[in-house]
Amino acid sequence: MSSYPNGVRECWGDYRNEEDLEVPTQALYQHQKKLPNLPVPTLEATCALYLQTVRPLATDAEFAETKKAVLGRSKTPLCATAYKYMFNACRIPHRSADSYRIYDPSLHHHIVVLRNNKYFKVQQSATPLTFLEWTTVLDKIIAIAGGKESAIGVLSSQDRDVWADGRDQLLVDGNEASLKDIESAVVVLCLDDETPVSRTEVARGLWHGNGRNRFYDKTIQLVVYENGKAGILAEHSMLDGMAMSVYADFMLTGLRNGSIDLGDLTTPHGALQLPAITQLPFNITRATLRNIALAEHSFDLLVADHEVHVESFFGYGNGLMKTFKCSPDAYVQMAIQLAARKYWGKDVGTYEASQVRPYLHGRTETTRSCSIASKAFVDAMVSSGPLERVSDKANACRNACASHVQYMKLAAQSKGVDRHFLGLRMLLQPGESAAIFEDPLFARSKYWQISTSHLTHELFDGWGWGEVVADGVGIAYSIKKNSVHFNIACRKTIPLSMSRAFGHLLEESLLEMRHIFEAEMPPQAKL
């Protein structure tokens, strides 16, 4: 045993520092060295037990927030492949197959700004410009941009083979350096001179704009309008909406919370050391002028053949849907099924994108929203026979929602049918066939007359894309606490607008669904 200096040992409550006082030869301490260390359970087990103990102390809303804090946004790592294509990257057209070109971010720090169809390179160092520096730079670009010039960018809106030839012409005419500056830029910033006001006007402008003040092959184009409205246009081939959502969330949440460093906000503009601003030169020959004219004509015809409508429903949102014991996403999908039956008079193939990024290089699998259970629900809602009991309709909706959630879980595990069948079809050799692929119902079941996807953020005002079949609709939706927003895009229909009609039917369906659930609730006692 160690001696006691001055006949005393000062102890500070750490058992490990006084183990020498536990003499193993004494009977009292003979088992000390044999005892196991205190076990440390898995974090998952501790969190699960903790949630059980706090559940009776919390309301449903409080418990939902607690679960987010305990479990985090995602317990599963997600494939990050898409992010390498976001910055300093560009799609390159070729007649055989397009490529994607990624430039070294340590060597390319510049941004390209578009104004009046002209391209301005803003050279910056590895240290980002401050907010004041950027506002000064952009004011200067607007001042020096002058009138509009021939729109090189509209060439990138063409058929890929046509654009490949047009790009080759630009290279032959000595424009390689300017194209490289655009393609290698961190991002492209488009300063448009339009002033859209409504959600539909903004959606239309971000979807395609007028085709001139853009470079559609660039992965990220930040679009800012004259009145301050803004958004993102993303090139879809190498990444999906969730990656862009993360990028947008970083900006918007950071600005709201003040976590983004805007730099010195007190330095007078005249004292700022501004970076070099260079207008990228283009040698535009007669051949390219002809290509631009053809591209503008094709673009304008394509845009004129399309329509988009944003339906903002403020009747209720995910808060009330949860009280009906339904998944909000599945609930909205059932509203879409009901609206589709009302519009077309039949059930149609419906696609919902499901993320499979927990797997290496995974992107999406299809959740087929039109199901046996959804058909039963819609049949009950539109039946012209004796009125079903309201509770039967509500239960049919719950069953349909549960069925949808189950399919989504399978799709999230890459166990849906569409990607598997796609792979098998691609393995067929010339001359080979399989009976299932020749069956007419196989083709009809994947004719996506309704293409949907769900992305919600309280700071996003909307998002969207186009239809995937000629007589179909593309429906992007967001389910917020007290509202649901639909971006509905399709080919233009005359004399009645399909997008507006579908938006009205979605509102009508959501109101009818609320009625069946609230009608089955017991009446509240009057005071």
Q: Could you read off the pLDDT of 449-484 as tens digits, one per residue?
A: 999 999 999 999 899 999 999 999 999 999 999 999
Q: Please provide the DSSP assignment of 423-468 as one string.
A: HHHHHPPTT---HHHHSHHHHHHT--SEEEEE---TT--------S
Low-confidence ranges of the chain (pLDDT < 70): 1-5, 7, 9-10, 73-75, 269-270, 384-388, 523-527
Q: What is the pTM of this model?
A: 0.85
CA distances from 180 to 18, 174, 177, 212, 497 (A): 69, 12, 5, 19, 42
**For residues 449 and 472, what is the distance between their CA atoms, to the nearest angstrom?**
4
* Given 31, 108, 109, 236, the catalytic residue: 236
3-state DSSP assignment of residue 206: helix
What is the pLDDT at residue 73?
A: 58
Give the 3-state secondary structure of residue 315. coil
Give the three-class secondary structure for 471.
coil
CA distance 170 to 287: 9
78 and 358 Cβ atoms separated by less than 8 Å: yes
Copy the structure tokens of residue 450: 């309704």
Sign, Cα dihedral of 458, 461, 467, 468: negative
Beta strand spans in 220-281 (E): 220-224, 230-234, 277-279
Query: DSSP class of residue 14?
Result: -
Quote the tokens at residue 469. Answer: 């079949």
Q: How far is CA 293 from CA 118, 174, 299, 408, in A?
A: 17, 20, 10, 46
Question: What whole-number distance in Å separates Cα of residue 252 and Cα of residue 239?
Answer: 20
Q: Is the CB of residue 193 less than 8 Å from the CB of residue 160?
A: no
Tokens of 230: 């803004």
Contact 139, 220 (CB under 8 A): no
Domains defined for the chain, CATH in brackets: 5-33 (no CATH), 81-304 (3.30.559.70), 307-424+434-519 (3.30.559.10)
Q: Is the dihedral of CA 90, 94, 98, 99 positive or negative?
A: negative
pLDDT of amino acid 76: 82
Confirm if 446 and 439 have CB atoms less than 8 A apart: no
For residue 495, say if its preceding peptide bond is cis, omega within 30 degrees of 0. yes
In this predicted structure, what is the pLDDT of residue 237? Answer: 94
* pLDDT tens string 339-353: 999 999 999 999 999
pLDDT of residue 385: 61
Q: What is the per-residue pLDDT for 69?
A: 86
Cβ count within 10 A of residue 456: 18
| 504 in active site | no
The contacts found for 384-391 with CB under 8 angstroms, 24 or more apart, are: 390/515, 390/516, 390/519, 390/520, 391/520
Helix (H) or strand (E) holding 204: helix 199-207
Instruction: State the amino acid at position 26 in one-letter form.
Output: Q
102: which residues sit within 8 A by CB, 6+ positions away? 84, 85, 88, 89
